[in-house]
Structure 1
Amino acid sequence: MSVKPNSASALFAGPFALATLSDTDGPVFPALVTPDARVLGLRAVLDDERLDVRRLLGNWEAVLPRLRTLAGDGDLAWRPLAGLRVHAPVEPRQVFQSGANYRQHVIDLHVAHRAPDDERPEAERRAEAAEIMDRRAAEDLPYVFIGLPSAITGPYDDVTLPAWAEQPDWELELAAVIGRPAHRVTVDEALEYVAGYTIANDLTDRATVFRRDMPAIGTDWLRSKNAPGFTPLGPWIVPTESIARPDDLRLTLKLNGETMQDESTKDMIFDVARMVSYASHTARLLPGDLVLTGSPAGNGMHWGRLLRDGDVMEGSVTGLGAQRTRCVAEAVAEASS
């Protein structure tokens, strides 16, 4: 769908962001977007007809000063954003996802899943969980697994709920976008390899997280998280220079207008730098890759309310804009296609 920007407020923080756009039925193109909803196609001005956002990120250090200049040049062929379709801002080669990374979320889970014979007061069990989280932050490592790029969809696209997904759930997350090849980078230097940030909603079918037929194997992230469209992404990539404090951003997800998640990234157990550094010590991170940083408290399992046909999710992160996606049951989607 095309975006309908709110002219009363800026779309995002800073003077510009990156986007992947198209006319209604036309090919996609990389673009510079301004907070007041103006668009500049980048292929012509950068003289590269093969240019896309991932290719742009592959030359990030060299091209960033040029983008700053372009954003301030009012004589170029700017056009309104209204009427254009907004796609996922980048097609990554790799997606690194994080689990159990918000302190309050994990404490809530710990308290909710008490042993049947544990009769201690909730306050005592909560204090125990808080101590465990503090120790984990100091001594342990992030929990990171791999997602599939094919699960990514645009920030305003419908999300098809597969017929087999019994408990589809939302997980709004801050995503770091890699701008330089990163391998075995330290925590102190990790943010130098991040080009910008965007929004991800990392949907999960809770019923298939664990294999009932193979309990000793553990989690099944392929089945539970990687259906087509299960990762709405965007709308923009906002450069790091416009987000001064990635460790102090507000994440908010509304379901049919009701706030379900509302938390700061200050509650993350492992911050962006630790996430990027940790992932890079096993894998070689590439320009355009995503590092998802986990989701805060307020998922559907917490509320006892999972996603169903017709639900509308609205997710926002401070300075990064907002996405809006509608859920469509698989049978409904097939009937209307």
Structure 2
Amino acid sequence: MRLYATSSGLAREDRTGMLAILDLPYPDVGALLRGPGIEAARTAPVLREQPIDATILRSPVARPGKVLIVGLNYGSHATEALEMLAALGKSDVTLPKEPNLQVAAGSAVTGPTDPIVLPRVAGDHVDYEAEVAVVIGTVAREVTIDRAWSHVAGLTAVNDVSARDIQRRAMTGDPTASIGVAKSFDTFKPLGPCLVTADEFSETPDLAVRTRVNGTVRQDDRTTGFIHAIPELIAYLSRYQTLEPGDVICTGTPRGAGVFTDSYLRAGDLVEVDIEGIGVLANRVVRA
């Protein structure tokens, strides 16, 4: 099932290209998950149908309680990150054996076609990161790997936009900088365009993950490149905090982010994050 948050309310894609606006009092999927749960959308009465192309789409989860970001979770990206750290004099750094975790603000989430705003304090070093996002459906605390997938409501796409100058300062020991802050600016987490429910995927999905900037492919990989699979991430994260309905886990990005080629985002750029089986985020970059 594909669920959308729209300007007209929650919607289900019963026919390709057409949205069934549901008779439900919840503005987004996150609110639904914190209420009766995902199954309510399967049986909800339909108010009307309208074309997706004629509908304003919102983020499927408007304000996650937590946005948990897993770094270095593709072998391809981990290799290029270690190379960069070595160039910064950190040649003794090795890959962590456990997932690398950062936390971003829920207020950073924005819609699938909303603009990405370059902040004044980091406008020259803003970067894209295409990722598959996991949306938690039911409370998970200290779950086992074999039970972890049962807590997933579905998957969506996310662009884990980052202010690399602030992130670099944090990684080189500057106590005034934080990786979480670098990823928490308003509009830095475009999410959507829909939530595809967990029953549409295996627990270890094989999905293409791509980024295009102004039509040029910058990232192109598959989720089979994960170092830590989704159930492993959920089990690990749930040891340290309770995962709640509507929480979002960003599962990592592959090789090709702009920081490694000094190709940062500029005002006017169109950034497209394309996740196979889910859809495309298309966000224009604008000045503050």
Q: Is the 8 A contact 2:4 2:28 kept in 1?
A: no
Offset of 1:302 from its aligned partner? Answer: 1.7
d(CA) in 1 for partners of 2:273 and 2:31? 27
8 A Cα contact 2:5 2:27, kept in partner: no
Residue pair 1:202, 1:231 contacting (<8 A) in 2 also: yes
The aligned runs of 1:285-300 (5 Å cut-off) are 285-300=243-258
TM-score normalised by the chain length of structure 1 = 0.77
Instruction: Tell me the distance in 2 between the aligned counterparts of 1:237 and 1:115.
Output: 39
Partner of 2:30: 54
Shift of 1:240: 1.0
Deviation of the 1:78 alpha carbon: 2.2
How big is the shift at 1:162? 1.0
Residues 209 and 275 of structure 2 are in contact (CA less than 8 Å); yes or no, is this contact kept in structure 1?
yes
C-alpha spacing 1:115/1:76, structure 2 compared with 1 (3 Å): closer
Q: CA deviation at 1:102?
A: 1.1
Across the aligned residues of Structure 1 and Structure 2, the Cα RMSD in angstroms comes to 2.8
The 1:308–1:328 alpha-carbon spacing in structure 2 relative to 1, beyond 3 Å, is same
Q: Which runs of 5+ in 1 are unaligned?
A: 1-15, 24-28, 118-124, 331-337
Shift of 1:67: 4.0
Q: CA deviation at 1:319?
A: 0.2
Match for residue 309 of structure 1?
267
Q: Is the contact between residue 252 and residue 315 of structure 1 (CA under 8 Å) also seen in structure 2?
A: yes
- Tell me if 1:215 matches 2:173: yes
Distance of aligned partners of 1:159 and 1:292 in 2 relative to their CA distance in 1, 3 Å threshold: same
Q: 2:3 aligns with which of 18, 21, 33?
A: 18
Is 1:154 the counterpart of 2:130 in the alignment? no
Seen in structure 2, the aligned counterparts of structure 1 residues 35 and 316 have a Cα distance that, compared at 3 Å, is farther
Q: What corresponds to 1:230 in structure 2? A: 188
> What is residue 12 of structure 1 aligned with on the other side?
none
Deviation at 1:219, TM superposition (A): 5.7
The verdict on how the C-alpha distance between 1:208 and 1:263 changes in structure 2, with shifts beyond 3 A counting, is: same
Q: How does 1:130-279 map to 2 (within 5 A)?
A: 140-165=97-122, 166-211=124-169, 215=173, 217=175, 220-244=178-202, 246-279=204-237
Aligned equivalents of 1:51 and 1:110: distance in 2? 42
More displaced 10-residue stretch of structure 1: 173-182 or 94-103: 94-103
- In the TM superposition, residue 262 of structure 1 has moved relative to its aligned partner by 0.2
Structure 2: state its 5+ residue gaps.
Answer: none
Give identity over the alignment, percent.
30
Pair 1:233–1:35, CA change in 2 (3 A): farther
Q: Give the helix-richer structure, 1 or 2.
A: 1
Larger radius of gyration: 1
Question: Which of residues 253, 277, 280 in structure 2 aligns to 1:319?
Answer: 277
Asked if the contact 2:18–2:52 (Cα under 8 Å) also holds between the matched residues in 1, the reply is: yes
Distance 2:263 2:221 in 1: 19
Q: Residues 60 and 114 (structure 1 numbering): CA distance in 2 closer, same or farther, change over 3 Å?
A: same
Deviation readout 1:241-263 (Å, 9 max, x if unpaired): 11235441110000110000001
More strand by share: 2
Q: What is the correspondence of 1:2-17 to structure 2 with a 5 Å cutoff?
A: 16-17=1-2
Is the contact between residue 243 and residue 319 of structure 1 (CA under 8 Å) also seen in structure 2? no
> Aligned partners of 1:249 and 1:151: how far apart in 2?
25
Shift in Å, 1:233: 0.4
Whole-Å separation in 2 of the counterparts to 1:218 and 1:100: 23
CA 1:191 to 1:50, structure 2 compared with 1: closer, same or farther past 3 Å?
closer
CA drift of 1:276 comes to 1.0
Does the 8 Å contact 1:101/1:293 carry over to 2?
A: yes
- Structure 1 residue 84: Cα displacement: 1.4
- Count of residue pairs brought into register by the alignment: 285
Counterpart for residue 17 of structure 2 = 37
8 Å contact from structure 1 (residues 60, 195) kept in 2: no
Task: Kindly state the Cα deviation for residue 173 of structure 1 after the two structures are TM-superposed.
Answer: 0.6
The whole-number CA distance in structure 1 between the counterparts of 2:240 and 2:200 is: 29
TM-score (norm 2): 0.89
